[in-house]
């Protein structure tokens, strides 16, 4: 290569070195103003060399698209970890009696529309507003006036300034959450791109360090069917996005028809008590600021099933 070509080659390598994830020839050419046949030939040589040395790889079925290979895997000194190092948070319905939460944990709250997701998020925020880690509430649901009205009607004294932070945020939460605080996301909505929900939850998980995240998600409404003339209500536990939303969850909660269900709990507060499929029924006051008449629901001596 002559000096000009070598300069372009070095520029391409630097550009690729700053890319995270995928990139395409078209993207590279556009940003570096690569237009002549000779310049594109240099680009091809650079990418071929990077592929040969396993620094990037071609993505099958996507012409001219590549992925930067990330071969970093930090060593985990797991033998020095303390299993008693839990994040002692309080939950509405006193779920801390049944589950524990470790640092770097995702809690999913799946709820149908108007089924108390926001009430649960606000209640959780207030229950933990004096937590040593600190609490951040990320709001995509209401304006400031409606939020203040709801918080003012809670049976809790909130000092001014409040001992928790509230942020307006609608997407890419992993870009802004503090990895060492308690993040409450009300709620994560990717519109019609529900297949991307799992990827965003994964990015939030990767961002966490000592902190945890409670993420509210929308789920399909329940359906009423008749089986041999008997009315039955069918509710889906998982949010839109299905099993991808549960991949990173250490605790998965579901809200529907004034019922809270522990769909999945990875860590038990009491080894002898299995919290999976435990359910509670409840009512809500007229202001929508308090859970009422909370009672555990049983069926034939077992947790779960139709109520």
Under the banding of pLDDT at 50, 70 and 90, the label for residue 243 is confident
252 close to 101: Cβ distance less than 8 angstroms: no
Looking at residue 305, its pLDDT comes to: 37
Spell out the residues 6+ positions from residue 79 whose beta carbon is closer than 8 angstroms to its own. none
Look at residue 301 and tell me whether its pLDDT is greater than 70: no
No. of helices (H) and no. of strands (E), the chain = 6, 14
Catalogue all structural domains in the chain, each as residue range(s) with its CATH number.
Answer: 3-68 (1.10.10), 80-297 (3.40.50.300)
Look at residue 4 and tell me whether its pLDDT is greater than 80: yes
The predicted-structure confidence for 71-83, as pLDDT tens digits, reads as follows: 888 898 889 989 8
Torsion angle defined by CA atoms of residues 191, 194, 195 and 198, in that order, rounded to the nearest 10 degrees:
110
Instruction: Please list the residues that pair with 99 across neighbouring strands.
Output: 268
67 close to 57: Cβ distance less than 8 angstroms: yes
The predicted-structure confidence for 209-233, as pLDDT tens digits, reads as follows: 999 999 999 998 877 777 777 777 7
């Amino acid at each position: 290569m002559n000096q000009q070509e070598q300069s372009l080659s070095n520029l391409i390598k630097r550009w690729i070195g700053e890319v995270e994830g995928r990139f395409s020839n078209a993207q590279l050419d556009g940003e570096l103003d690569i237009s002549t046949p000779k310049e594109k030939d240099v680009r091809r040589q650079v990418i071929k060399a990077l592929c040969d040395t396993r620094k990037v790889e071609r993505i099958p079925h996507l012409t001219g698209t590549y992925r930067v290979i990330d071969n970093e895997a930090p060593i985990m000194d797991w033998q020095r970890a303390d299993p008693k190092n839990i994040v002692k948070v309080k939950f509405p319905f006193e779920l801390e009696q049944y589950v524990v939460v470790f640092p770097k944990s995702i809690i999913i709250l799946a709820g149908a529309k108007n089924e108390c997701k926001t009430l649960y998020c606000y209640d959780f925020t207030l229950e933990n507003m004096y937590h040593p880690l600190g609490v951040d509430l990320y709001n995509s649901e209401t304006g400031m006036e409606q939020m203040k009205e709801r918080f003012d009607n809670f049976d809790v004294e909130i000092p001014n300034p409040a001992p928790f932070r509230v942020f307006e945020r609608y997407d890419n939460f992993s870009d802004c959450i503090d990895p060492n605080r308690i993040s409450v996301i009300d709620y994560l909505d990717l519109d019609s791109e529900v297949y991307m929900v799992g990827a965003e939850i994964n990015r939030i998980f990767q961002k966490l360090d000592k902190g945890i995240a409670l993420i509210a998600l929308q789920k399909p409404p329940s359906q009423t069917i008749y089986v041999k003339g008997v009315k039955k209500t069918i509710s889906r536990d998982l949010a839109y996005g299905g099993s991808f939303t549960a991949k990173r969850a250490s605790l998965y909660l579901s809200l529907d028809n004034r019922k809270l269900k522990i769909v999945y709990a990875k860590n038990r507060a009491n080894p002898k008590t299995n919290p999976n499929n435990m359910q509670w029924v409840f009512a809500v006051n007229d202001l929508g600021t308090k859970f009422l008449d909370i009672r555990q629901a049983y069926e034939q001596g077992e947790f779960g099933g139709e109520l």
